[in-house]
Chain A
C-alpha cells in the first residue's frame, strides 16, 4: 500500500501526525502534511486506514502499490 497526500487540500489539522507520528509529519513552514513513510509496512495498514478515514479533508488516499491509480 502506498500513501499519497494532497497538500493543497490539507487543512493542517495535525490529526494524522498526532495519531501516527511514524508515518505523518507537518511542515513548520506551511502547516501542511508531510509524509515520513509513504509505503508503510503491512502491520501499519489498518492504523493508516483509520487515520485516512478521519482526515477532515480527505487529503490522505491509499493506493495499491502496483496499480497506477487505485
Chain B
C-alpha cells in the first residue's frame, strides 16, 4: 500500500516560502495518497512531481474538471456556468475557442497603453494621498480590476463601483468561512457583482461595442446564452483580479525580501521579461491546480488513481523543487525559468497568461520607480496570508516610502 501523506504541506506556506517538507515529499513521493486529516476538501491524491503533474494535467480524457454529484462541496454561490475550469471537452473546446483569439499575445499587446495609463493613475493617487498606504485596495486589486473592466467593456464610470464590490468579496477576513456575518456580506457582494455583469451582458446584446463582450456577441451571439456570457465575464474579471492581484502583492514582497534582486530589477530593465517569469515561478500564487476527478482507473508512475478519486497537483512544489537546473529556494531574476507551470499545463492553461504578463511587466517596475524607498511597515511574517483560497495572497499590504 502506498505511503500516506499526513501533513497539509501543500496548502500551508511560510510566507511566500513553501513548507520545508514539500520539497522532500516532492522528491520522495511525487504522487502520494493524502490522509483524511491532510485532505482539505475530500481529495485523495497529491501530485508534486514534474512528470506526474504534467501527465495528470495533460490527460483531459481521463481526468475531469466536473465533480461527481457526491463530491460537490464549497461550490455554493459560485458562478459555475461559463467557468472554463468546470468544463471538459467538447464543451470546454466550444467555449475556449470563442475566447482564445481575444487573448493572443498580439491582441493583448494592444492594451499596453491602457495598462500604462491605469498603473500611472493608481500610482498618482497613492502618491497624492501619501504614506502610509495599504497596497491591496490602492494598487494590487484596482490595476487588474480596471484593466479587466476595459477589456470586457465595463463603462469607466461603473468600473470603480464594480471594483469595490469585488474587492469587498475578495478582501474578506481570513476566517470568513466561520464568521456568518462575514459570509453573508461576501455572498451579498458576490451577488451584486454577478447582477451587475448580467445587466451589462443584456446591454451589450442590444449594443455590442469593440470590447470583448461585444466581440463575443457579434461573432458568436447565436451560439452562446446570456447566462454563459455572464459566467464568462464574471470568471474573467474574477480570476483576473484575484490572480493578478495576488501577484501584484506577492511579487513586490518577494523583491523587498531580496534586496539584491530588487537592485538588479531596477538597474537592468532589459531583464524584465525573465524577471516576470522568475517571479511567477517563485511566488506560484496559484499553488495548486483545481482538483481533477479520475473518470476511469489511471496508472500514473507506479500508482493507480481509481475511478472517482480526486487528485490535486501542486504547482508550487513543481515550480520550487522540481524544475531542472533551478535550485529550490533562491530568487534569481537572471535565470531562465520559462519552464515553470505557474499558469498550469494542458488544455486549461491559463487563458489570461499574456494579459497577466503585460500587467506585471508594466506595473512592477512602475511601482518601484515611483517609490524607490518602498518598504513594509510590519515584518513580513506578521502579514495575514490567505491559505483558504485557491490563490495565495495577503489581505493587507501596509507600506511606507
Contact = CB atoms under 8 A, between A and B. Distances in A.
Contacts of B103: 12, 14, 31
B349 to A, nearest CB: 4
Nearest to A31: B100
Interface in A18-32: 18-19, 26-32
A58 interface: yes
A44 interface: no
B221 interface: no
B105 A18 contact: yes
A1 interface: no
A62 interface: no
B101 A28 contact: yes
A57 B346 contact: yes
B100 A30 contact: yes
Interface in B329-351: 338-339, 343-349
Contacts of B347: 9, 11, 57
A29 B101 contact: yes
A13 B349 contact: yes
Interface string A40-56: 00000000000001101
A31 B343 CA distance: 18
Interface string B51-67: 00000001000000000
Contacts of B339: 53-54
A17 interface: yes
Given A11-B347, A54-B339, A56-B345, A28 B58 contact: no
A42 to B, nearest CB: 22
B349 A26 contact: no
Identify which of B100, B103, B349, B354 gathers the most chain A CB atoms within 10 Å of its CB: B100
A41 to B, nearest CB: 22
A16 to B, nearest CB: 10
Contacts of B101: 12, 27-31
Interface of A: 9, 11-15, 17-19, 26-32, 53-54, 56-58
| In the complex, the 3 A-B pairs of residues with the closest C-beta atoms, listed nearest first | A31-B100, A12-B100, A14-B105
Interface of B: 58, 96-97, 100-107, 338-339, 343-349, 353-354
